[in-house]
Amino acid sequence: MILNGTLYRDMVISGANNLANEKDAINRLNVFPVPDGDTGINMSLTMGAVRSDLPSFEGNVSQCADKVANMLLRGARGNSGVILSLFFRGISKECKGKETVDTTDLAAAFKRGVDAAYKSVMKPTEGTILTVMRVSAEKALEKAEEYRGRVEDFMPYVLSVAEETLQQTPEMLPVLKQAGLVDAGGRGLVVIFEGMVRFLQGNPVVLADAAETVEEPENAFEQFNTEDIVFPYCTECIVGKSEAYLGEGNAEDLHQFVLSAGDSAVFVDDTDIVKLHVHTSDPGKVLSEALKFGALLTVKIENMREQHSSLSSGVQSSAPAPAAEPAPAREEPEDAAPEKKYGFVAVASGEGMVSVFRDLGADQMVIGGQTMNPSTEDMLKAIRRTPAENVIVLPNNSNIYMVAVQAALLVEDKHVEVLRSVSLPQGISAMLAFNPDGEVAENVAAMKDAMASVSSLSMTFAAHDSTFDNREIKENQILGLVENKVRYVTDSREECMAGLCDHITEASVVTLFYGEGVSEAEAEQMQAIMQEKLGSDVDIMLVNGGQPVYYFIISAE
């Protein structure tokens, strides 16, 4: 067998289906105990477009590979998603102009994909998805001629190499060996290859029902108190669009509002209606905002606290719920014509955090962050909607930086600078250092200096039991992070805050952002602990950031 466009199409779809079915198991392989178990989600969302848009595609291998690459590039989420998209983009370049591909073509395509993926990473780390890709491609090149004309036998060989390499990743990365896990991204690639092989063997993978792919613990509603439901109102409505908003993708402002209004947001922006769902603390605001876009056709509001009270006596859980997967991006909006010299795109979540960036001058906010990584398409839309000649992008998360860079490469009519801000305090400090009268290079240098001068600390919870950095960590223990590295593992937030203060030196101004589910009284208690530890000379400001996942984020300058 050699691959034509139809066979390549169906092989990729089978791989994407297998990845979607296994995403939760891949998430659980994440070593870092902070709630960021999203490798499976990011890779699955990256591949997700091919499951819905590719089945009807007809064409040769070149055309099909090109369509796959474009879908993945725009849908890429997180570092693992970007690497995966670049792998398939390299494949498409090698297949360019070909009606069909044999094993030698496929091996060369894998090698080109690996080269593209490695070039995208500043400091490639062995023992990750990159290693599984590279070794698989190298061995494929060695054996391609032997399997000529038999792709159905060649791909099982490539899969066996990938599986063997994956099992070796703990020996390459001490953090994996300590945790007794293989690399999550590498496992994701193996799962894709497994799906491809199953198709070639006449047993393609179909997408499982949601109920079959999510393992819910028995009586899961009893694992938290009713009071732990931060956004109690499940709000749904259908809006019949007014004339000004007719057409797909024309209610993006409402979409962004819904994402910032709570969690578990789902948003469908169709030609003449909008359907939205969100868990929020103020359904009235959501409905009032929706009314700006047309007439309410249906409305449903449910009080989840009341529902939960009737189902459970409640067993306390100290962990806030991770943010939901963001809704998939819709059709790309028109470019905004430049109206000024500078514009900003920033990534943040939580109403307070979003307001801070808007107050500092951010033109476009992309709702996202830890556990909720926006796609390349989301970033691209925001850049194009920014009415400026020069657009400065602040990802504010290390797992979003590569996505922002890929989005910037797709913009041709604006100058885009992506700063490597890996925390919200860094992004805020960068914007404070901006000079509207300065030149681009001067501003970029000043903003980088500002990011380097701020200390970023945070407090969250352990998402799972783990052995990390020679520490035994239990699920739901309190974690204190300094520059995104775990420094404290405690059983109380007070103890953790006191420890974090030991890492704040020579600071005159400290800002304490408290997150969703943290009361003002507790925030003031933490402020008092910090004041006692740091002394009266340090000015400590308290801000309701409303950010998910992190109880507290601290900026010290």
Does a structural domain hold residue 319? no
* CATH number of the domain to which 383 belongs: 3.40.50.510
Q: Domain check: are 200 and 237 in the same one?
A: no
Mean of the per-residue pLDDT values for the chain? Answer: 85
Does a structural domain hold residue 335? no
Boundary (domain end) residue, out of 213, 234, 251? 213
Q: Domain check: are 158 and 232 in the same one?
A: no
- What pLDDT sits at residue 32? 62
- What pLDDT sits at residue 304? 64
* CATH number of the domain to which 76 belongs: 1.25.40.340
- What pLDDT sits at residue 238? 81
Q: Domain check: are 307 and 440 in the same one?
A: no
* CATH number of the domain to which 463 belongs: 3.30.1180.20
Please report which confidence band the pLDDT of residue 522 belongs to, taking 50, 70 and 90 as the band edges: very high
Boundary (domain end) residue, out of 311, 327, 361? 311
Q: Domain check: are 500 and 440 in the same one?
A: no
Q: Domain check: are 297 and 354 in the same one?
A: no
Q: Which is more confident, 305 or 480?
A: 480
Does a structural domain hold residue 494? yes
Q: Domain check: are 37 and 148 in the same one?
A: yes
Q: Which is more confident, 1 or 471?
A: 1
Q: Domain check: are 461 and 444 in the same one?
A: no
Does a structural domain hold residue 246? yes
Please report which confidence band the pLDDT of residue 210 belongs to, taking 50, 70 and 90 as the band edges: very low
Four-point Cα dihedral 117, 382, 338, 254, nearest 10: 160
Q: How many domains does the chain have?
A: 4
* CB neighbour class for 129 (10 Å; exposed up to 12, middle 13-18, buried from 19): buried
Please report which confidence band the pLDDT of residue 392 belongs to, taking 50, 70 and 90 as the band edges: very high
Angle between helices 78-94 and 103-119 (to 10 degrees): 140
Q: Domain check: are 32 and 90 in the same one?
A: yes
- What pLDDT sits at residue 223? 39
Boundary (domain end) residue, out of 293, 311, 329? 311
Does a structural domain hold residue 218? no
- What pLDDT sits at residue 469? 66
d(C-alpha 112, C-alpha 184), whole Å: 23
Whether 332 shows a pLDDT value over 60: the answer reads no
Does a structural domain hold residue 330? no
Whether 233 shows a pLDDT value over 60: the answer reads yes
* CATH number of the domain to which 290 belongs: 3.30.70
Q: What would the mean pLDDT of 48-70 be, rounded to a whole number? A: 88
User: pLDDT digits over 402-419, tens only?
Assistant: 999 999 999 988 999 999
Please report which confidence band the pLDDT of residue 513 belongs to, taking 50, 70 and 90 as the band edges: very high
Q: Domain check: are 65 and 189 in the same one?
A: yes
Q: Domain check: are 490 and 524 in the same one?
A: yes
Q: Domain check: are 176 and 70 in the same one?
A: yes
Domain that holds residue 305: 224-311
Six token digits for residue 198? 């199953």
Q: What would the mean pLDDT of 40-49 be, rounded to a whole number? A: 88
Does a structural domain hold residue 321? no
- For the ranges 173-187, 265-279, 370-384, the lowest mean pLDDT is seen at 265-279
Does a structural domain hold residue 324? no
- For the ranges 172-181, 313-322, 440-449, the lowest mean pLDDT is seen at 313-322
Whether 330 shows a pLDDT value over 70: the answer reads no
* Helical segments of 325-439, H only: 351-359, 376-385, 398-409, 424-432
Please report which confidence band the pLDDT of residue 321 belongs to, taking 50, 70 and 90 as the band edges: very low
Q: What would the mean pLDDT of 78-88 be, rounded to a whole number? A: 89
**What pTM was estimated for this model as a whole?**
0.69
User: pLDDT digits over 95-148, tens only?
Assistant: 999 999 999 999 999 999 999 999 877 678 889 999 999 999 999 999 999 999
Helix, strand, coil shares of the chain, percent, nearest 5, are 50, 20, 35
Q: For residue 59, which phi and psi values (nearest 5 degrees)? A: 165, 180
- What pLDDT sits at residue 318? 43
Whether 12 shows a pLDDT value over 70: the answer reads yes
Q: Domain check: are 449 and 466 in the same one?
A: no
Longest dimension (CA), the chain: 76
User: pLDDT digits over 167-190, tens only?
Assistant: 999 999 887 887 788 999 999 999
- What pLDDT sits at residue 174? 83
